Chain A
Amino acid sequence: MYLRPSLGLVLITLTCLQVFGLYLFLKGFLLTRQTFPLQGRSYDSWDRFPVHQTPLQQVPTVIEPKQPFKRTVVILIDALRFDFVLDIENATNPYYLNQFPVLQQLQRTQPQSSLLFQFRADPPTTTMQRVKGIMTGSLPTFIDAGANFASSAVGEDHLLNHIKSKFEKMYFFGDDTWVNLFPETFNDTSRRFESDSFKMLDLDSVDNDILKHLWPVMEGEDQWQVAIAHFLGVDHCGHTYGPSDPNMAIKLNQMNGVIERMLNYVDKDTLLVVMGDHGMSVEGDHGGESVEELMSTLFLYSPRQLTLDSDYYRVFFKQIHQQRASRLGYDIESISTRLLYDASKYPIVAQIHLVPTLAYLLQVPIPFGNLGAIIPDVIYPAHDTNTLASLLHMVQQFRVNALQVFDYLNQYADQTHQIDFSAEKIKPILHHLYTAEEIMVQLVNQPQFLSKVEAEQITQEELELFDTQLKEAILAYDAFLISTIKYCEAIWAQFDTGCMFIGIVLLGVSTLASFWMMMFRPHISYKKAFGVCALVLSICLVGAYVTLSHVGGQGWFEKMEDIDWIGASAALAICCIFFLMKSKQVAPTSVFWYTCDWYLLLIADIAQSFTLGSNSYVIWEDYGTLFALGSLSVCWTLRNLKALASYTRFSVLEAVLYPLLFLILVRITSVTGQCREEQFPDCSYIYSNSLEFGNHAVGYFSLLLMVMTVSMLGYLSRWLPNAQFAAVYLVSGIIVVLRMVQEIYLKNTVLQKTQYLMVLEKCMDVYLPRVVYGLCLVGTGACIYSKKYTKVTIGWSVLLLWSTVLAIVQRPFASIIVLASPILIDLLSRGSSSSLLIRLGLLHFLGHHLFFVTGHQASFTSLPWKAAFVGFDEMNYYGGMILVTLSTMAGHIISWLGMFILLVDVPSLLTLPLHLLTLLQSIPTFLCAIFILILRRHLMTWKIFAPRFLVQILIEVGAHLAVIGLEKTL
């Protein structure tokens, strides 16, 4: 009894193995966090008291906080490392130490009014992520699910939102990152003066621009309430010259002057916040998580008393800060050794702590998604009451903060049903909160406590009676807040390396199995197969059990569930069965390409895969793909020339002609595309925006392009079997051209919105695209189900009909390219079978090339969101998703349809080409996964490597499905 799986079954099994490997890998790799469109609210101090039992009737007196500030100045100095603001003796570095002394001088002269902290950033230390963290109080993750990819705007509740609703007159100066992040807050263009943040070599223009506008506003008529200034000079100086440079001294002195001058405008009702968003490394760069990059500065100042200034409180605050530092694992010693100051002298606060702190000082609600804990030093009751009342006031503020975080945790658990947030898992964290509430319940139940709180004066003994319990309650609330941060950090920022590793092993083994199946015929006895299956399965399961009980924890196998282990073991067992099938493939000797060429393609593919591990090559992949196409075209030419029987002038010309024409067309298409952010300023694509119908040369060019497109449609329609199909194709094609004309026309014309025009627009945007979708589906169906046509005709009809759908969801230039792409397929389909594999390889790279030239890039910002609205008035979730996917994958889909046309002549010899096509995608996926594992802490992971990997996954799965489809239909 022999097991002889058919080619289709083998392909399907291999696809399942790959998908399962990818699933495990992604499970370990993708860090996600759900964001909610909910607004934070203000809590009563004793809301739901106690939170874990039925509320008590009796609650303590509410101690009011001091009057909130009426005006706030936030000065954010980019890359202000903590040691830049120090004013110390024996300065060892002349350029950045003691150059910005004003903060410490203030602290020395007015200790009650100024607070200086080490401000610890959460990696990644990039400005955009930091500003987001400082304003939302949330931790950074890769995907903020629910957020909008299309713009970088923050999609959840943030502090500015609440400040804006209380303080209308809000001014902004400096780095335009803020405007991009919070477009709704800074919608008043007369009150914002943003500057471009990308000119690294320019140290002064942003800062000077800020200063030009800042002082007039400060002195101006308009009663400003909030002013935010984001200075970039220090950061740019770091990038350009590094911290140890005379320019740094100049920049820091300038900032010193700015703060000194600003002090003139800071009165008793004004709060001055000076902070940095991150530090800078020894070389002056940032983005990573070294101590130099993490330690920034936070300074709070107001002429009125800002902090309870007595040794009693100072000792207590220090205790809180120490508890936080030890819970969050801050390594104070390493800060001291690497940054040349005594880090234990200044408290360390996490950046997200600023959110509840500012919310308290301005008396606005804490944003919904905040995880930060209030900085205790700023808590100050309204009246100079007794110590007990001050402590009770502190309890209230911690409790409000804790309630907000508690609500957030509950909301997160309810909405996501994530196991990590189940009641069972967060029980130890909630335990702190319940302890604190328990202590407060006990205190409230003692009648003399409340009377003592309200007393004018209390004696030392009376204080001692309660102060231990109050402090314990505060520390317990704080423990709840800090453990939540630590827990969420672990869940949202922890890769499961074990999971990723197993995923990679599966990807590698199944890729190898794919290769094996390409070389050998699947043929094995049932006995052997079952034996191996059982053996490998049991070994793997025992291995998994042993690993689990010994390795576990800290990012290894935490996310692997039992079913994953079983699945992984089964996958390995199946691969082992594949490896045992070793009988020789019966190769038809007549076919030349069978023994050759596939290794050339594999080498080219592996070489191309290795470029995925280098950020430069990923950034310039559009050019790399063109280069690969050029090289393979040369191979095609050489193969043609070598296969010639006689070398007449005509035959040589013919051998060269098709590769040359193909390459010329490919090069012409590559003048358009979309630039990645990282490609500037060396990127010079022609944009769709440059088309117009004015009376200039451009107008004639655009018209010519449209006419050319229509005549091309007519030329292409001759491949269709009969006039009906040609009509369907031409109608769809002309609708695509009409939409192009409309898009180009609307771009540079302002039209009065009349009734008539609205109807026309709706027709163009909604109904016409639907006609195209409908015609395409009907046409495809008619073509496949009527038995009249040959396979070649079906292939061409499907390709042409679908090219119209793929074209309508693109921008104008890309539409033309997609409509013209059948010509490229036609060129590739001309050639003898000796070059078939090379042409398949060309088709494989052509798909990727079309992906780039139709205006897509492997980055989130370039996702074609507009495509979701082609044919739909409102956002339709699934329809939109399909359209965006179609738009993104258009190039690849065309290449897969082209494969059908290329392979239709050789149906008996499919094993090698089909396996080769899957290998061409699974090898890059496998290598890309390895690079991601190695580079998972790399600065560019989330910006460059991860999006590229996601695109790779999409192509890989698509290609596998396409190959299965090819096997079934050919």
Chain B
Amino acid sequence: MKSFGTELAIGLLSIGLNYGATFKLPTTSLLNEPVATLSTAVPILFIGHIVLIVLSNVFRGTTNKALRTVGYSITACVLSTGILHLVTVLFGAPLIEKIPNTFLFSAYLSILTIMPCFEALEENVWIKVFLQHSPTTTSEIYAYTQAICALSGAWIGAIVLPLDWDRDWQAWPISCVISTYVGHSVGVLAALVWSSIKLLFGKKKSE
């Protein structure tokens, strides 16, 4: 029961942090200057999420593990930024032009995908959650849905790119950044619903 509240609080805090870092804190607007805005937003997000990881460890009373988790998360984040950059290019992002745009987007996506997992997961259950797709505890559910929804959000955002509507937000990677943000938020909500259902109806099974 305790983890239910903790995860929800951390999830909501990260939604708030993402919102602030993407739309409010940078002095430039995402629609007009995506590169400049993301260059401010990504470091803010990075530091903010590290703080959240520490905070989540403090909430759970595992403060002694905080430093190590932060270390792991930073490594994972940097690595996955590289991998996501590659994957984005493989999906059709321009190879040579707009490298800053692609890179900042992958950094943004990697923070929103990787960091929540480190915030939510208490132990090393990566294979069970992400390779076998079977999260069971509340914290696993939070990690799983946030990561999957953020990735799906980024994927869906690409759908508007070819349309000839001539809107500002169709420029690469604005629509994908916005949809990643929305996807992550949906992930938190989905985790809330999923874990609530599990808590209410699935009690017999888990005990």
> How far does the alpha carbon of A565 sit from the alpha carbon of B194 in the complex, in Å?
56
By the criterion CB–CB under 8 Å, are B132 and A642 in contact? yes
- Does B59 make an interface contact (CB < 8 A)? no
**Structural contact, B90 and A641, CB atoms closer than 8 A:** no
Interface SS of chain A: helix
The interface stretch among B62-70, B135-143, B158-166 is B158-166
Given contacts A620-B162, A623-B162, A624-B162, A647 and B131 within 8 Å (CB-CB): yes
Contact B163 A614 (CB under 8 A): yes
Q: Which residues of B contact A641 (CB under 8 A)?
A: 131
Is B55 located at the chain interface by the 8 A CB criterion? no
Residue in B95, B155, B163 whose beta carbon sits within 8 Å of that of A671 in the complex: B95
In the complex, which range does the number of interface residues on chain B fall in?
10 to 19
Nearest A residue (CB) for B91? A630
The answer to whether A642 and B133 have CB atoms under 8 Å apart is yes
Whether, in the assembled complex, B89 has its beta carbon less than 8 Å from a beta carbon of chain A, the answer is yes
- Name the contact of B89 in the complex, choosing from A620, A623, A642, A667 (C-beta under 8 A): A667
A642-B131, A644-B131 as given contacts; A616 in contact with B164, CB under 8 Å: yes
Let me know if A180 is at the binding interface, CB within 8 A: no
Interface mask (A608-634 → B, CB under 8 Å = 1, otherwise 0): 000000111101100110110011000
CA of A627 to CA of B176, assembled, Å: 14
Known: A615-B164, A616-B164, A647-B131. A627 touches B92 (CB 8 A): yes
With a 10 A CB-CB cut-off, give which of B92, B131, B158 has the most chain A CB atoms. Answer: B92
Complex formed: what's the CA distance from A647 to B132 in Å? 10
Interchain CA distance A936-B89 in the complex, whole Å? 37
B127 within 8 A of A: yes
B131 touches A626 (CB 8 A): no
Residue of B nearest to A607 (CB): B159
B135-186: which residues lie under 8 A (CB-CB) from chain A?
155, 158, 162-164
Q: Is B123 an interface residue (CB 8 A)?
A: no
- A671 vs B94: C-alpha distance in the bound complex, in angstroms? 9
Contacting residue for A619 out of B90, B95, B162, CB 8 A: B162
Chain B residue contacts of A647, Cβ below 8 A: 127, 131
Cβ of A687 to closest chain B Cβ, rounded Å: 16
CA distance A626 to B91 in the complex (A): 6
**CA of A631 to CA of B133 in the docked complex: distance in angstroms?**
18
Residues of B within 8 A of A638 (CB): 133
Interface status of A457 (Cβ within 8 A of chain B): no
Smallest beta-carbon distance B56→chain A, Å: 26
Which A694-748 residues sit within 8 Å CB-CB of chain B? Answer: none
A684 interface residue (CB < 8 Å to B): yes
Q: Are B127 and A667 in contact (CB under 8 A)?
A: no
Residue A664 at the chain B interface, CB threshold 8 Å = yes
Q: Does A161 contact B (CB under 8 A)?
A: no
Q: Among the interface residues A623, A631, A638, A671, which one has the most CB atoms of the partner chain B within 10 A?
A: A623
A241–B90 Cα distance when bound, in Å, is 40
CB distance from B19 to the nearest CB of A (A): 28
A857 at the interface (CB under 8 A from B): no
Asked if A617 contacts B132 (CB within 8 A), the reply is: no
**In the complex, B97 has a CB within 8 A of chain A:** yes
Q: Least Cβ distance of B185 to chain A in Å?
A: 22
Contact with B along A768-794 (1 / 0, CB 8 A): 000000000000000000000000000
- With a cutoff of 8 Å between Cβ atoms, the chain A residues found around residue B164 in the complex are 615-616, 619
Q: Is there contact, CB below 8 Å, between A626 and B92?
A: yes
B77-122 at interface with A (beta carbon < 8 Å): 87, 89-92, 94-95, 97
Contact of A630 among B92, B131, B133 (CB under 8 A): B92
Complex Cα–Cα for A638 and B152 (A): 14
CA distance A647 to B125 in the complex (A): 12
Q: What does the 1/0 interface line of A641-653 toward B look like (CB < 8 Å)? A: 1101001000010
Query: Hey, which chain A residues are within 8 Å of B89, CB to CB?
Result: 667
Task: Find the B residue at minimum CB distance from A638.
Answer: B133
Shortest distance from the beta carbon of A938 to any chain B beta carbon, whole Å: 14
Question: What are the residues of chain A within 8 A of B92 when measuring CB–CB?
Answer: 623, 626-627, 630, 667, 670
- Which of B87, B158, B162, B163 has the most CB atoms of chain A within a 10 A radius of its CB? B162
Query: How close is B76's CB to chain A, nearest CB, in angstroms?
Result: 16
- CA distance in complex: A627, B95 (Å): 14
Measured CB to CB, the closest approach of chain B to A566, in angstroms, equals: 44
Q: Which chain A residues lie closer than 8 Å to B163 at the CB level? A: 614, 616-617
Q: Restricting to B36-90, which residues have a CB under 8 Å from any CB of A?
A: 87, 89-90
Q: Are A627 and B127 in contact (CB under 8 A)?
A: no
Question: Out of A614, A616, A652, A663, which one reaches B90, CB within 8 Å?
Answer: A663
How far is it, in angstroms, between the C-alpha of A70 and the C-alpha of B89 when the chains are bound? Answer: 64
Please, how many angstroms separate the alpha-carbon atoms of A620 and B91 in the complex?
14
Chain A residues lying within 8 Å of B87, measured Cβ to Cβ, are 630
Contacts of A667 in B (CB 8 A): 89-90, 92
Please name all residues of chain B whose beta carbon is closer than 8 Å to the beta carbon of A642 when the two chains form the complex.
Answer: 131-133
Across the interface, which residues of A come within 8 angstroms of B95, CB to CB?
A: 671
Tell me the bound Cα distance from A174 to B95 in angstroms: 39
- Since A614-B163, A670-B92 are in contact, a sample of 4 more A-B pairs with Cβ atoms closer than 8 Å, ordered by chain A residue number, is A617-B162, A620-B162, A630-B90, A684-B94
Interface set of B (CB-CB < 8 Å, partner A): 87, 89-92, 94-95, 97, 127, 131-133, 155, 158, 162-164
Q: Please give me the 5 A-B residue pairs with the lowest Cβ-Cβ distance, nearest first.
A: A620-B162, A630-B91, A626-B92, A616-B164, A616-B163
24 A-B pairs with CB atoms under 8 Å apart are: A615-B164, A616-B162, A616-B163, A616-B164, A617-B162, A623-B92, A624-B162, A626-B91, A626-B92, A630-B87, A630-B90, A630-B91, A630-B92, A631-B155, A638-B133, A641-B131, A642-B132, A644-B131, A647-B127, A652-B131, A663-B90, A666-B90, A670-B92, A684-B94
